[in-house]
Structure 1
Amino acid sequence: DVDWSRPHLFVCNHQSMIDVPIAFVALGSNVRFIAKRELGLVPLLGHYMRATGMIFVNRGDGEQARQSIQAAGDRMRAGASVLAFPEGTRSVDGSIGPFKKGAFVVAIAAQVPVVPVAIEGAQRVLPRDGFRVRPGVVRVRIGSPIPTAGLGYDDRDALLTRVRDALIEQHRLVGGRS
């Protein structure tokens, strides 16, 4: 069970642009999320994201990406939870794609538990290539925290695999495809 009084790294599959507001409803307000830098350039949205402490990653600049990862760790050490979409992009077919390692490096450095969060149905409510919200059901399943206590940098791949496997199982339990 999630101890909501402690910071966590929440990792979520990514189906749709509507995943972020869905995750905020499911996880609460003391969550910062990691987003691609380009979202910070969107009028109003970018300003809101900066004002509320969201973390931007420039995926084309390795040094800046490392600084963003450090910022995420700082937020967690200060008591905020962080939400990451480790696939790095929205799924084309609803299945869970390969994960990038950065979020897991941060979780290990901050020594915070990682919680898999599966979302299913968002791709039908707001398709990847669309801008019109459609009626539909979106299901969310929050998995059990996976501890990072005692893990080091060399454990990042094993942690990634463990979390991805847990997320695939949570996704399957809410009717998703793996």
Structure 2
Amino acid sequence: MKLTHTQIVARGVLALAALCAAGAGAGPVEDTAQAETLIRGGDFVSAMNLLRKAAEQNHAPAQARLADLLVVAEFNSEALALYQKAAAQGEPAGELGLGRMYADALGVPRDQEKALELYRKAEARNYAPAVDALARAYRAGNLGLPKDLDKARELDARARALFEAGKASK
């Protein structure tokens, strides 16, 4: 069968469209999920590239996760900016991360009051790591909180339930 010029052009356009669609890449949600898989596999460089791409698209979970990795690598000023962006969008991982920076004086002056405020914002969103962090703070009497083992146990139980609910939804 001999194709006409118009048919050849049409097939070329369709093939190009298919290639573009396949190569367009995933969105920030998928990029962030793929980055987590890469992190579990030990490929931090590729994971950080995907997280950076998603973070540049203003995806708050990617901003917070990339900031987590940057803190470990001691790139505190970049991590701070990303946590601030994520927290401003109401991302609990960003709020907790920013709170940790204030609690530990990482790139910012130590401010226990600000740290506690940020931890509580994330805890109010039922973010299990924040609930756990507050339990530890009550257990030790940190962040300006009184040592309160009953409150720590209550928060521990809540954190466990939230962690389990998160595992069950995956």
- Larger-Rg structure: 2
Q: Say which structure is richer in helix.
A: 2
Same fold (TM over 0.5): no
**TM-score using structure 1 length:** 0.31
Greater relative CO, 1 or 2 (CA 8 Å, sep 6+): 1
**TM-score using structure 2 length:** 0.32
Q: Say which structure is richer in strand.
A: 1
